[in-house]
Amino acid sequence: MSTGDKQDFFDKPENIRRILRTFYGICALLFAADFLVHRHTEHGWEGLPGFYPLYGFVGCVVLVIIAKWMRTFLMRPADYYERLELGTEDSTVAAAAEQSGGHSNGGQEHV
Amino acid sequence: MFEVAPFIPFFVAALLALVLRGWPRALVMIAVPLLGLANLWMLGAGSFGAYSVLEFDLLLFRADKLSLLFGYLFHIAALIAIIYALHVRDTLQQVVSLLYAGSALGAVFAGDLMTLFIFWELLALTSVFLVWARRNGRAYMAGLRYFTLHILSGLLLLGGIIFYAQSHESLAFGQIGLDDNPYSWMIFLAFGIKCAFPFFHNWLTDAYPESTPTGTVFLSAFTTKAAVYALARAYPGTELLVYIGATMACFPIFYAVIENDLRRVLAYSLINQLGFMVVGIGIGTSLAINGAVAHAFNDVIFKGLLFMSMGAVLHVTGRINGSELGGLYKTMPKTTVLCIVGAASISAFPLFSGFVSKSMVMSAAIKNGYDWVWLILLFASAGVFHHAGIKIPYFAFFAHDSGIRAQEPPTNMLVAMTIAAALCLAVGIYPQALYGLLPYAVDYTPYDVTHVLTQLQLLFFSALAFVWLNLRRLYPPELPSVNLDVEWLYRRLLPQAIRGTVAAAFRLDGRVRRAAVAGVGNLMESVASHHKPDGVLARSWLTGSMVAGVVLLLGVYLLLGFAL
């Protein structure tokens, strides 16, 4: 526990390096275990050595890359819905919306 | 013997909580789930409380192993959530949370569809106040949307029941199954809305993160699990559910990766976990149903734990966005550890509760030839570790130091989280305790070399991907933003379409009015112009011009006389 400027565990780069090195070691051991331990499998692909580690790694990288790509067309400003729903829009946006006649008190949001 | 339906203690306690204050209220609230659990244990399987409305025989309480498991679960979840909320001084929240838990119990033990419908609507009616209890504009709007969708679910259920009653003698709640009858689809959809099926899932990601820190813990426990129970009761073995479930397990993880509000990340991950249960129900074998139900049990505990830890962060810091948090482990070590236990459980690490139930669904999928579904579920398992297992603890408690030096949350919050964490570990280490409660006999051992090894490989290499992406600075940063989802249709498109139509109507109306006014003006002008000085009718005419007129007239007569 810390107060003030005391350096905490994860503030020290050597601690992080040590943890990462242990982590890489465990990963290597787990990968190697595939060739040493006989697994009983129910499925063709499942029996391939390194299937689970590769699937986990590739799956997560693909997941993150697709998610990042999704941001390009899904991301909107944080007040995207509020502007309309709560009428908290700033005056320039408000003017554009008000002009069209519908007052934005959000009550008509629900059908 | 004097029999009390499980929902009654909760409703009575809610009445008491309305008049009591301070520690007597706390005492009543803690006693209710404990006494209720004892009551349910004594009741066991069986049924009572038959009554009839019109010509239908209805049944207030009907318990078998399936409903009993959910009954126990709801009592435990209520106990944990009540302890977590003990510090709250808000009569509204405390009363409706008891009513809400009671409604969930009523729904799970309903012996017939009509009773189910009543509690189904009560679930919506009571839970929406937990959203509104946040008492701000966003929560109010989110609550209204939540309520609208849940009332829609209730109406579909009622419509389904009416059709069902036309072709069935009894309204007993049992296997329905999908067929050509409209009622089967209406009831299916009613359950599906509450279960956050794709396209109907946004009420969950919309309303849960807007509730109070304590309210979300209640919300995450009951509504969706009551829907899982209803699906398991009425639609086991429906193949469509396998594909719906696989979709639910898969798509939310993409949103969870880019979402900034950490409780919304958990809401997406809740849909992902529901996907596993729905797949299990869809496969419908005894192993799959057992897996689905066991996973529902575990999910309530570990998802509750995660929501509690994030609620604690929100409670002490007032913030919940990943972009504003970080480095909290320094001053909140206990909450950090408890959150990591929840994260390990949802990620299905061996010795944690998720491991012993998720693998049952996965095994059932591969045993029944759903290879692609199995691959999707495996991807979803890796993904859930990525966003719920790593992202939640990492961005809240580690990552960059946000400079926030928050203290640990109140003791009651820590106690509630500790109970949940202990349950996660207990079920993970000694799964037989849970397996004994499952609806079917269990012939399944989660702990063998293959299982443990492959799961560890999957998880460690998912973590490796996270580390690698982070070191290469490829990991998407937390950004304050809104990500569009299906809700855009009714939060943006529909209101704008309505607004546009109304505006167009007003414009047209204005134009017609202006044209009419101008027309009347012109008419008046032209009439007036004849009478004005120098107007045709106001001019003084010369006598000669009148004589000329008469001559002209006579000339015309003459011509006519000749012509005829």
Beta pairing, strands B46-53 & B56-63 = antiparallel
Please, which residues 507-526 of chain B have a Cβ atom closer than 8 Å to chain A? 507
Test B469 with A8 for CB contact under 8 angstroms. Answer: no
pLDDT in tens, A21-72: 999 999 999 998 888 877 777 666 777 788 899 999 999 999 999 999 999 9
Q: What values do phi and psi take at B244, rounded to 5?
A: -60, -45
Residue of A nearest to B491 (CA): A109
Looking at residue A109, what is its pLDDT? 34
Q: Are A63 and B386 in contact (CB under 8 A)?
A: yes
Residues B419 and B537 in one domain: no
- What whole-number percentage of chain B has pLDDT above 90? 73
Q: Is residue B228 part of a domain?
A: no
Amino acid at B553: L
Interface membership of B497 toward A (CB under 8 Å) = no
Q: Decide which of B222, B257, B285 is a domain's last residue.
A: B222
Q: What is the mean pLDDT of residues B78-106?
A: 94
For B152, the domain range is: 1-222
Looking at the fold, whether B505 and B437 belong to one and the same domain comes out as no
Q: d(Cα A11, Cα A88) in Å, to the nearest integer?
A: 40
Indicate the number of domains in chain B: 3
In a domain, B128, yes or no: yes
Distance from CA of B498 to the nearest CA of A (A): 8
**Are residue B204 and residue B308 in the same domain, yes or no?**
no
Name the band, by pLDDT with cuts 50, 70 and 90, for residue B564.
confident
Q: How far is A60 from chain B (nearest CA, A)?
A: 6
What is the average per-residue pLDDT within B331-358?
Answer: 94
What are the backbone angles phi and psi of residue A88, rounded to the nearest 5°? -95, 25
Question: DSSP assignment, residue B486?
Answer: T
Measured distance CA(B474)–CA(B309) in Å, rounded: 28
User: pLDDT: is B486 or A92 the higher one?
Assistant: B486
The alpha carbons of chain B give a radius of gyration, in whole angstroms, of 33
Residue B308 in this model has a pLDDT that exceeds 50: yes
Residue B44, token pair as written in the block: 């066991």
Last residue of a domain, one of B158, B190, B222: B222
Tell me how far apart the alpha carbons of residues B145 and A108 are, in angstroms, rounded to a whole number. Answer: 11
Q: Which of A1, A26, A85 is the closest to B141 by Cβ? A: A85
SS3 content of chain A, % helix, strand, coil (to 5): 65, 0, 35
Residue B477 has pLDDT above 90, yes or no: no
Q: B180 and B44, same structural domain?
A: yes
3-state SS assignment for residue B136: coil
pLDDT at position A88 is 60
Mean pLDDT of chain B: 92
B380 and B243, same structural domain? yes
Please indicate, yes or no, if residue B227 is contained in any of the structural domains: no
The alpha-helical segments, DSSP class H, found in B284-327 are 286-317
Opening angle at CA B150, ends B145 and B156, nearest 5: 130
Within 8 A of B137 by CB-CB distance, chain A residues are 82, 85-86, 88, 106
One domain for residues B416 and B510? no
Per-residue pLDDT reduced to its tens digit, B10-30: 999 999 999 988 899 999 999
Which member of B453, B457, B476 has the closest CB to residue A68?
A: B476
- Residue B117: name the closest of B74, B171, B67 by CA: B171
Inter-chain residue contact A30 with B458, CB threshold 8 Å = no
DSSP B389: I
Tell me if chain A has a CB within 8 Å of the CB of B379: yes
Question: Which positions ≥6 away from A103 have C-beta within 8 Å?
Answer: A87
User: Does residue B305 carry a pLDDT above 90?
Assistant: yes
* Same domain, yes or no: B413 and B552: no
Same domain, B240 and B140: no
> What are the chain B neighbours of A53 within 8 Å (beta carbons)?
457-458, 460-461
Q: Residue B450 and residue A39: Cβ atoms within 8 Å?
A: yes
Judged by CB atoms closer than 8 Å, whether chains meet at B498 and A63 is answered as no
pLDDT tens digits along B110-124:
999 999 999 999 999
Q: Which of A42, A56, A77 sits opposite B382 (nearest CB)?
A: A56
Considering B433, B455, B479, which residue would you say is the last residue of a domain? B479
Residues B458 and B542 in one domain: no
> Do residues B414 and B448 both lie within one domain?
yes
Please state, for a pLDDT cut of 70, what percent of chain B lies above it: 100
pLDDT tens per residue across span B395-408: 999 888 888 888 89
**Which chain A residues have a beta carbon less than 8 Å from that of B138?**
82, 86
Q: What is the DSSP letter of B318?
A: S
Query: Does the pTM exceed 0.90?
Result: no
pLDDT (mean) for B416-440: 94
B127 & B265 share domain: no
| ipTM score above 0.95 | no
Q: Would you state the pLDDT for residue A111?
A: 31
User: Where along chain A do its domains lie?
Assistant: 8-37, 49-101
* In a domain? residue B484: no
Same domain, B529 and B390: no
Question: What distance in Å separates residue A43's CA from the closest CA in chain B?
Answer: 8
Give the nearest partner residue to A64 out of B379, B449, B475, using CB atoms: B475
